[in-house]
């Protein structure tokens, strides 16, 4: 931290020196470069003082603390106090020149205005700098949040789903079912996709569709025989990409809050219609009947609030999510522009 502060101080120091040299040499006076450099240096010292006093003390203490009135008052007082001091310094520098001394006294109001303008400009620059830093940190935080949420989704393999699937595989192996190798392969593909292939911000849509198919096929295995699970895809699947596991919470909700609580005639219908640059994803599931008062309450289910945040961060104005919640079924319709 100390080394970083020292490095910043050196950068500021050399910038001011170069600026002073650049101003002094083109403005050679009758008394030579040295005299011009001294005058400009004294002028700059007061500007440097008011700038740094403003951005390192007044700005963080009052303006960032949302005390705009106090900030304006103290900034005004600071400029008022520094103006006669600066005038006195130039008066002393021009002791041998009566006209210059007189001009210093008559121009104190210009000294005040120039100092106030410099201080105000430093405030504007500081605000813009803080805004740029805020936007950078905000994007960085959003990216970290998205990565954390994706890791959460990848690690959130429903234990009931996994254990039931393994139990069903065990049961199939006992009767030496020909379906056993296929089921094991589907579970292996599903786990591989979640744990290894979803490390990028976008994945191929066809891989996400394969994941959904494997997920639903394994759900068919662990659900009762009368449960209807349907998955249809329309459209031409080429090289479109999509955020990985963006549909997972909707699928989990369909089973956890719907099918698993319906005693008979349960169903989950998943439909995806794909065009070149957009898709429509629909999940509809049956649900147990609730009273109207319960239906009207806000219901989100597992991961729905998180997936809304991810959609907002990743797709912003390029998506729409509609939810229909009735007495007997729950339906979501997600439309995405594949940008």
Provide the CATH number for the domain around residue 296: 3.30.565.10
Per-residue confidence (pLDDT) for residue 2, from 0 to 100: 47
Lowest-confidence segment of 103-117, 127-141, 197-211 by average pLDDT: 103-117
266 and 132 both lie in a single domain: no
Which of 110-124, 167-181, 198-212, 281-295 has the highest average model confidence (pLDDT)? Answer: 198-212
Task: Give one DSSP letter per residue of 230-297, joined into a string.
Answer: EEEEEE--SS-EE-TTSSHHHHHHHHHTTGGG-SSS-EEEEEEEE-SSEEEEEEEEE-----HHHHTS
User: Could you tell me if 63 and 71 are in contact, meaning their C-beta atoms sit under 8 angstroms apart?
Assistant: yes
110 and 239 both lie in a single domain: no
- The 8 Å CB, 24+ separation contacts for 43-47 are 43/86, 43/90, 44/16, 44/19, 44/20, 46/82, 46/85, 46/86, 46/89, 46/115, 47/115, 47/118
Cα 212 from Cα 218, distance rounded (Å): 10
Per-residue confidence (pLDDT) for residue 13, from 0 to 100: 61
Per-residue confidence (pLDDT) for residue 280, from 0 to 100: 96
Cα 159 from Cα 176, distance rounded (Å): 25
Q: Which residue has the higher pLDDT, 238 or 149?
A: 238
Q: Give Cα separations from 120 to 13, 19, 41, 84 (angstroms).
A: 22, 20, 21, 19
* For residue 333, pLDDT beyond 80: yes
How much of the chain is helix, strand and coil, in % rounded to 5?
A: 65, 15, 20
Lowest-confidence segment of 48-57, 156-165, 181-190 by average pLDDT: 156-165
* For residue 335, pLDDT beyond 90: yes
Per-residue confidence (pLDDT) for residue 224, from 0 to 100: 72
User: Could you tell me if 109 and 150 are in contact, meaning their C-beta atoms sit under 8 angstroms apart?
Assistant: no
196 and 273 both lie in a single domain: yes
121 and 197 both lie in a single domain: no
212 and 244 both lie in a single domain: yes
130 and 174 both lie in a single domain: no
205 and 134 both lie in a single domain: no
Which domain covers residue 54, as residue numbers? 2-148
128 and 237 both lie in a single domain: no
Lowest-confidence segment of 202-211, 226-235, 282-291 by average pLDDT: 282-291
* For residue 299, pLDDT beyond 50: no
Last residue within a domain, chosen from 94, 121, 148: 148
Q: Give Cα separations from 334 to 258, 270, 327 (angstroms).
A: 18, 11, 21
256 and 282 both lie in a single domain: yes
Which of 84-88, 102-106, 188-192, 194-198 has the highest average model confidence (pLDDT)? Answer: 188-192
pLDDT in tens, 75-103: 888 888 888 887 777 777 665 566 666 77
- Residue 220: φ, ψ to 5°: -60, -35
Percent of the chain with pLDDT over 90: 13
113 and 162 both lie in a single domain: no
Q: Which tokens hold the place of 301? A: 């289910």
Lowest-confidence segment of 26-40, 66-80, 126-140 by average pLDDT: 26-40
DSSP state of 32: B
> How many Cα atoms occupy the beta-carbon half-sphere of 34 within 13 Å?
1
* For residue 233, pLDDT beyond 90: yes
* For residue 65, pLDDT beyond 90: no
Identify the CA nearest to 89 among candidates 44, 26, 28, 31: 44
Lowest-confidence segment of 143-157, 164-178, 319-333 by average pLDDT: 143-157
* For residue 232, pLDDT beyond 70: yes
Per-residue confidence (pLDDT) for residue 332, from 0 to 100: 94
12 and 130 both lie in a single domain: yes
135 and 169 both lie in a single domain: no
Cα 337 from Cα 49, distance rounded (Å): 53
How many distinct structural domains can be found in the chain?
2
pLDDT in tens, 240-251: 999 888 898 898
Last residue within a domain, chosen from 148, 183, 215: 148
Q: Which tokens hold the place of 298? A: 């806000």
Find where tokens 């056993």 sit.
180
* For residue 303, pLDDT beyond 70: no
Task: Please name the helix (run of DSSP H) or strand (run of DSSP E) that holds residue 136, with its range, or none.
Answer: helix 108-155
Cα 118 from Cα 86, distance rounded (Å): 14
Last residue within a domain, chosen from 95, 114, 148: 148
pLDDT in tens, 13-56: 666 666 555 544 454 455 555 666 677 777 778 888 888 888 88
């Amino acid at each position: 931290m100390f080394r970083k502060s020292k490095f910043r101080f050196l950068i500021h120091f050399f910038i001011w020196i170069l600026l002073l040299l650049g101003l002094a040499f083109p403005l050679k006076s009758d008394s030579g470069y040295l005299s011009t450099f001294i005058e400009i240096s004294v002028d700059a010292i007061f500007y440097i003082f008011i700038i740094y006093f403003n951005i390192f003390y007044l700005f963080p203490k009052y303006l960032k603390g949302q005390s705009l009135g106090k900030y304006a008052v103290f900034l005004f007082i600071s400029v008022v106090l520094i103006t006669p001091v600066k005038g006195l310094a130039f008066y002393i520098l021009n002791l041998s020149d009566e006209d210059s001394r007189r001009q210093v006294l008559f121009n104190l109001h210009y000294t005040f205005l120039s100092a106030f303008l410099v201080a105000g400009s430093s405030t504007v620059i500081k605000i813009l700098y803080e805004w740029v830093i805020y936007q950078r940190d905000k994007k960085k935080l959003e990216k970290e949040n998205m990565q954390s949420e994706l890791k959460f989704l990848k690690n959130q393999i429903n234990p009931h789903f996994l254990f039931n699937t393994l139990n069903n595989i065990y049961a199939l192996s006992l009767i030496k079912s020909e379906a056993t190798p296929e089921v094991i392969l589907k579970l292996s593909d599903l786990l591989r996709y979640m744990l290894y292939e979803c490390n990028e911000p976008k994945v191929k849509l066809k891989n996400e569709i394969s994941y959904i198919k494997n997920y639903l096929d394994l759900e068919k295995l662990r659900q009762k025989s009368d449960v209807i699970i349907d998955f249809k895809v329309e459209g031409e699947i080429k090289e479109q990409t999509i955020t990985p596991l963006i549909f997972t919470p909707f699928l989990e909700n369909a089973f956890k809050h719907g099918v698993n609580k319906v005693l008979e005639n349960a169903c989950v219908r998943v439909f995806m219609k794909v065009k070149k640059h957009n898709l429509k994803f629909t999940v509809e599931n049956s649900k147990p009947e609730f009273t109207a008062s319960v239906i009207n309450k806000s219901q989100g289910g597992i991961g729905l609030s998180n997936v809304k945040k991810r959609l907002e961060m990743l797709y912003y104005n390029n998506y729409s999510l509609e939810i229909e919640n009735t007495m007997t079924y729950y339906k979501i319709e997600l439309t995405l522009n594949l940008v």
